[in-house]
Amino acid sequence: DDDPRWTDWRYATPTRDLFIDGMYQTSNIEDDEFHEAMVHPSMFAHTNPTHVAIIGGGDGSTLREVLKHNTVESVTVIEIDKMMVDIAREYLPDLSDCSNFIGRTSNCFDDEKVTVVYEEARKWFYEHFGSEDSSEKEKFDVVILDALDPDGNKNKQSAMLFMDEQFLANIYNSLSEDGIFAAKVGLAPSIVDPPGHMGLQARREKFMLMIEQHPSTGIVLVYEENHCSFGRPAAMLLACKDVSCRKEWYAESDDVDYRIYDRIVDTKDGAPALLHYDGSTQKFYQHPSKPWETVYCRREPMPFECAYRGLDKNKVIHDLIVGDEEKSSFSLETVKDESTGKNYTALFATVDIDKGSYIMADDVAASFIIGDESIDNLKNNVKVSGGPGKAPVIEDFIAFIEEHGHKSKTKGNGQNIVEMGGSHYIRKTSDASEANIGRWMPPHPSGKEPTYSPVYERHRLPFDVFLVATKDIKKGEEVIRPENLWS
């Protein structure tokens, strides 16, 4: 009791915690990490979020983070409990404090861009976006569900937000064509959790299935934030109507940092407006943790792609090892094309290769990735240089990309995979029966990838490069790939 450090801010900081219906929500010293994690991934997944809706969020923290984006023209907060807002403003004023942001009011709720509606969210969305004439109404670019967790709470109205299919449909009706729906969805799963529908997060599983199966869903992405006071990482979700948001989601850290510089408002004291979120934080969010994949693959029946979570140790990897014929499974030879009379370099097997074996894994893993924008920049450089023939090095590079590259099979990420190793010598054929190798990850039997799959999100690069023998390849046979291998 006599220790003076208890009253010295350098050693101890007094806290105020917020509980709703007995459930811990946030505190005045740890809300930055949690709310920055909940808001900014979805806001930056949209290229220009101007109109935003917040469902719940009566403490003001989510609103504070949204107002940090200079693109925002309006924010609609639909909060059922006015007392929640009043109590937060009086006892937790830091949560809705916008006084340090240039161009914002002292309290975030008082900003001219903000409209607070004290109404039950399901009712409000039904009245505004539940009918056919809602198409004429102004749409939201981002809708953030900041309610009690889907599981473990005793608040019936809050629980219904995660169980009402019509409510979800109305939210989708309220979104623009490239709109994004984001939500906090409880605690992150554990690797020992049972299938989602059987465990403590059964309501979340139902909620996610509703989103996955909704016809307007393009993709569903999940991530988690460790720096919270919940005992386990907090789980977050965003659903994009358009798969193009994946390009923003998988942006490199330097790109995210630039967008933060360009979009986030300045502060009066010159301190960064974001304390936790930056490009490296986004890189951490980009790949779901292993427990998401593990629990997902415990669904019944097991999703198709779960059989491809890693290379099969029982299969042999055959590589081209130049300069070591004893260890190499292939050789490069000059062959004359009878139809053209020209010579070309071809790849031949120097050992018998069993069907299902991995082909040149080391080479294809060395492929480089280049984005659509970078390719466009190269082509523009040729134009600026005076057109064809004026920048031969760049033109040759573009030609190499077009000949040996392919679009990523992950829709919307804007990436191209370019083979750099010996695998690019594998001849292509339009005759499928002549080919003897193919993709390790075959096309999904349904004809399209699921909207939600932590397997695809975690393994998208291996799925884009690894090759297997589709039939037994005898020693001395040429290795041939189908022309439409990646199309």
Query: Hey, which residues are catalytic here?
Result: 146
Nearest to 311 by CA among 378, 277, 372, 356: 356
Distance in angstroms (rounded) separating the CA atoms of residues 450 and 305: 10
Contacts of residue 131, defined as CB under 8 A and 6 or more positions apart, other chains included, come to none
Helix, strand, or coil here: 143? strand
Tokens for 75? 């924010």
Helix segments in 141-242, DSSP class H = 156-160, 165-174, 202-213
Strands 74-78 and 51-56: parallel
In whole angstroms, how far apart are CA 191 and each of 208, 217, 220, 405? Answer: 18, 27, 20, 37
Q: DSSP character for 485?
A: T
Distance in angstroms (rounded) separating the CA atoms of residues 146 and 167: 15
Which amino acid is residue 484, in one-letter code? Answer: N
Distance in angstroms (rounded) separating the CA atoms of residues 239 and 451: 9
Which amino acid is residue 308, in one-letter code? Answer: Y
Nearest to 369 by CA among 306, 416, 430: 416
Distance in angstroms (rounded) separating the CA atoms of residues 211 and 376: 35
Contacts of residue 374, defined as CB under 8 A and 6 or more positions apart, other chains included, come to none
First to last CA, the chain: 71
Distance in angstroms (rounded) separating the CA atoms of residues 364 and 309: 18
Label residues 209-219 b or e (16+ Cβ within 10 Å = b). ebbeebebbbb
Question: What burial class does residue 413 get, using C-beta atoms within 10 Å of its C-beta: 0-12 exposed, 13-18 middle, 19+ buried?
Answer: buried
Q: Is 457 left (phi over 0), alpha (psi -120 to 50) or beta?
A: alpha
In whole angstroms, how far apart are CA 187 and each of 92, 144, 233, 249? Answer: 24, 17, 6, 22
Distance in angstroms (rounded) separating the CA atoms of residues 105 and 113: 10
Query: Would you say 88 and 64 are in contact if contact means Cβ atoms under 8 Å apart?
Result: no
Tokens for 73? 């023209």
Contacts of residue 258, defined as CB under 8 A and 6 or more positions apart, other chains included, come to none
Query: Would you say 354 and 472 are in contact if contact means Cβ atoms under 8 Å apart?
Result: yes
